Structure 1
Amino acid sequence: MEALLKEAFFQALKATDPYRLTLKALPRERPHLILAVGKGAAPMLKAALERYGEVPYHLTLPLGQDPMGLKARFAPHPLPDERSLRAAEEALALVKELPPKAHLLALLSGGGSALWCAPLGVSLEEKRALTEALLKSGASIGEVNAVRKHLSRLKGGRLLLATRARVTALLLSDVPGDDPSVIASGPFSPDPTTYAEALAVLDRYGLDFPGARRVLEEGLTGGLPETLKPEDPALRRLRLRIVGKNLDLLKAAQAFLRGEGHRAAILSDRFGGEARALARFHAELVESVRAHGVPFRKPLFLLSGGEAQVRVQGGGKGGRNLEFLLALYAHLNAPLYALAADSDGLDGTGGAAGALLTPGVWALGLDPRPYLEANDSLGFFARTGTLLQTGPTGTNLNDFRLLFVD
């Protein structure tokens, strides 16, 4: 069963390879410049260059990722540094040089928010510290990006405003709901959030960053222009398409499992909220299926996606998928097989994509409580020996959860 869980995950990744998804969606018109950024940027760019031949391009990837033979800039994720700033400044300079009739092809995937960082009114150090605090606060990706977009010269559609060219943007979605304004913080997309909403996020999570507050308050009073809004005429120059999303990943796994003769149901592609609460929901659903056959007949596989959050209060290591599995283990009354992983191959800190739960984990008799208190899900699964190590996968279609109810 462990092998089947892993194979379902790997088959889903294979079916949603960014190269294949991009190749099918490329426009006929040859671009004058290609910008590619994010965890899926290299295979997306590879597809474009094979279609169009030699085209000037700018590629930014996370540190350690395979550039696939392409010339690339590398920057850290999830926290930006000077390399993120240089990559963003280069992208801004390139799009500003394009004439009005030029065609710009943008290939965007998750991770772009950190890889391109051009702070507005704050230092790189303060924006980095604020991003880290937001990620640890339990804020949703939408809340995090509402703040980041209003402290950026590039995000929130400002990259579209910086160029006179026509833009085709192809996106891989790593966010629940597939909102283009959230993917890589929407450098070409209209932004529905405001300075007031960004300030409210800081208040909601008790984050005191004077420089950021000063900029957001200046924007609130009209001292700074807003991000790109849906009524802006600049959007007439934009064609945008999402070429891959979390639901594609889940459907691919479902098709593989059905092909192997198993029943499989997709619960949702947009589960969010706190990872422990999400684990409790899944545990209660499993117990209902086990006890009553409601709402599904057993045996079957349950699939879900989306993106949970973790409120970090301890000093341990882990990620939202590892935290989900640890909490699932704590809530269940009896063993089961389960896998949870980030499709990009890196779940939080520690280098693992995710992990597996198996009856063997229960046999060890480990107490989950001290690991939950320390936010040390990585430490727990390192002891069980069920960490899933893939390395960077070259894509980013959000989280993948698979449970087998027997």
Structure 2
Amino acid sequence: MTDFRALLTETYRAALAATDAGLLVRAHLPAAPPALIVSVGKASLPMLGAALSAYPGAPFLAVAPDGPEVGAAVQAAADRQQGEILYAGHPVPDQRSVRAAERFLEQVGTLAPGDELLVLISGGSSALLCAPWGLTLEQKQALTRELLGSGASIQELNTVRKHVSRIKGGRLAQVAQARQARVTALLLSDVIGDDPSVIASGPTVPDPTTFADALKVLERYGVQHSAARAHLKRGARGELNETPKAFHELRQQVIGSNRLLLDAAAQSLEARGIPAVILGDTFGGEARELAAMHAALVRSVRGFGTPVRAPVALLSGGEATVTVRGSGVGGRNHEFALALLLELGERGLWALSVGSDGVDGSAAAAGAFLTPDSWQRARHLGLDLQTALHNNDSGTLFAALGDALITGPTGQNLNDLRILLIGPD
């Protein structure tokens, strides 16, 4: 008999292995050694390790969230005082994030004309690098928390972030350009559509958004943050310099994406004899609405054999949002799984909704499993599914069921992976 929990876990791990951040970086490094390497994000340390394997003596500066392991090569280079490894807050910036951003700006500001700057960027960088502009750190923290809980998309959140920062929205590259340095940026995408100007709030990318766009985001979600509104209104009136809209001597490339993760997961499943269909890598919106759509597909496959016939694995990616109204523990993947369980009721299935970074919101897990008997087990334990969803407490519920997948930080961040295994009737 197939151990489907193990199968789902192995598929997730196989997808991560195939999209290892170091492997992706090594395939795209420029030939010439850089004068400086700066690396930031949830995958900053493995990305840096790959670069140092190619350029053993290059100076570097890396910023990572708490948790990921430091590889031997990176630690050895740091011990030689070849560079610095800093840690900072995520998903809300902290004082360490401010120090990290200042160090980035200082180091890039020492480049000489003709120097090559190699920038390695992965998801999470928006919080890890924080150079407040027009706001105090405390005000920016409050703004970030409010936007994170509002249901705003990452594109909308980063539009605001770019206009209250001295490093985002192309301003890091602007410092390098002022020194007449060349910039090469390699990016791992954790955003739907893989837009470089959105990834990490685009510190090295010309920014198409404006102060007026950022104000519209606050209006759209009813964010009443007086300091942010005052600053953005000054910018919209032309009293502050807009983010840069064009650069020269800039090479950038998205080297990893959610689509690669989905392809690797599908290949792993099919190698085990399970047909796999990738629904897409651009699924966003509220986790509950996304779950309802997936439930409709499951019912369609079971009832009519459309769009595909069972047995089959349906895979989807992207990144959902959660409008936080309760005080519970969880994240977008846990909330998706709970909403899907409520949609399907007693006729469940094996499924996994998980973040490629190993972290899901405020939960201690990367995501959650569903099993064909999740509904019955929850009832047996006296767990109220609807109350848990209402209170955004999906993390607590799946921990009680023993269905949370705990991995710790993975050193990768290519958005989310959802796998639904639909068996024959």
Normalized against structure 2, the TM-score is what? Answer: 0.93
Cα separation, 2, equivalents of 1:121 and 1:211: 8
Aligned to 2:277: 265
- Displacement of 1:326 in angstroms is 0.2
Cα separation, 1, equivalents of 2:358 and 2:39: 20
Does the alignment pair 1:217 with 2:233?
Answer: yes
Cα separation, 2, equivalents of 1:60 and 1:208: 31
Does the alignment pair 1:192 with 2:208?
Answer: yes
Does the alignment pair 1:404 with 2:421?
Answer: yes
Cα separation, 1, equivalents of 2:355 and 2:363: 13
**CA offsets per residue over residues 265-305 of structure 1, 9 Å max, x none?**
00011100000000000000100000000111111000000
Q: Which moved more, 1:95-104 or 1:281-290?
A: 95-104
**CA offsets per residue over residues 97-154 of structure 1, 9 Å max, x none?**
1112000000000000000000111101000110000000000000000000000000
Contact 1:61–1:67 under 8 Å retained in 2: no
Out of 356, 362, 365, the position equivalent to 2:369 is: 356
Cα separation, 1, equivalents of 2:30 and 2:161: 30
Out of 6, 11, 16, the position equivalent to 1:8 is: 11
Aligned to 2:387: 370
Out of 379, 404, 419, the position equivalent to 1:387 is: 404
SS at structure 2 position matched to 1:315: coil
**CA offsets per residue over residues 233-282 of structure 1, 9 Å max, x none?**
xx221100111100000000101111111100000111000000000000
Aligned residue type for 1:236: H
**CA offsets per residue over residues 172-205 of structure 1, 9 Å max, x none?**
0000100101111100011111111100111111
Aligned to 1:107: 120
Describe how 1:266-305 pairs up with structure 2 within 5 A. 266-305=278-317
Cα separation, 2, equivalents of 1:307 and 1:99: 40
Cα separation, 1, equivalents of 2:294 and 2:372: 17
Normalized against structure 1, the TM-score is what? Answer: 0.98
Cα separation, 1, equivalents of 2:208 and 2:402: 44
Aligned residue type for 1:337: W
Describe how 1:173-252 pairs up with structure 2 within 5 A. 173-229=189-245, 232=246, 235-252=247-264
Cα separation, 1, equivalents of 2:137 and 2:111: 27
Unmatched segments (≥5 aa) in structure 2? 79-84
- Displacement of 1:362 in angstroms is 2.1
Out of 336, 345, 359, the position equivalent to 1:324 is: 336
SS at structure 2 position matched to 1:236: coil
Cα separation, 1, equivalents of 2:267 and 2:363: 31
Cα separation, 1, equivalents of 2:27 and 2:197: 23
Question: What is the aligned-residue RMSD (CA, Å)?
Answer: 0.9
Out of 168, 181, 185, the position equivalent to 1:155 is: 168
**CA offsets per residue over residues 150-180 of structure 1, 9 Å max, x none?**
0000000011111131000000000010010
Cα separation, 1, equivalents of 2:216 and 2:197: 19
Describe how 1:2-151 pairs up with structure 2 within 5 A. 2-69=5-72, 70=74, 71=78, 72-151=85-164
Cα separation, 2, equivalents of 1:182 and 1:192: 10
Aligned residue type for 2:312: L
Cα separation, 2, equivalents of 1:176 and 1:373: 27
The number of equivalent residue pairs is: 402
Out of 320, 341, 364, the position equivalent to 1:308 is: 320
Cα separation, 1, equivalents of 2:286 and 2:414: 19
- Displacement of 1:367 in angstroms is 3.5
Aligned residue type for 2:315: L
Cα separation, 2, equivalents of 1:218 and 1:335: 53
Cα separation, 2, equivalents of 1:83 and 1:196: 30
Cα separation, 2, equivalents of 1:220 and 1:73: 34
Structure 1 consecutive aligned stretches of length 4 or more whose deviation exceeds 4 Å: none
Aligned to 2:186: 170
Cα separation, 2, equivalents of 1:395 and 1:372: 28
Cα separation, 2, equivalents of 1:367 and 1:135: 26
Contact 1:173–1:183 under 8 Å retained in 2: yes
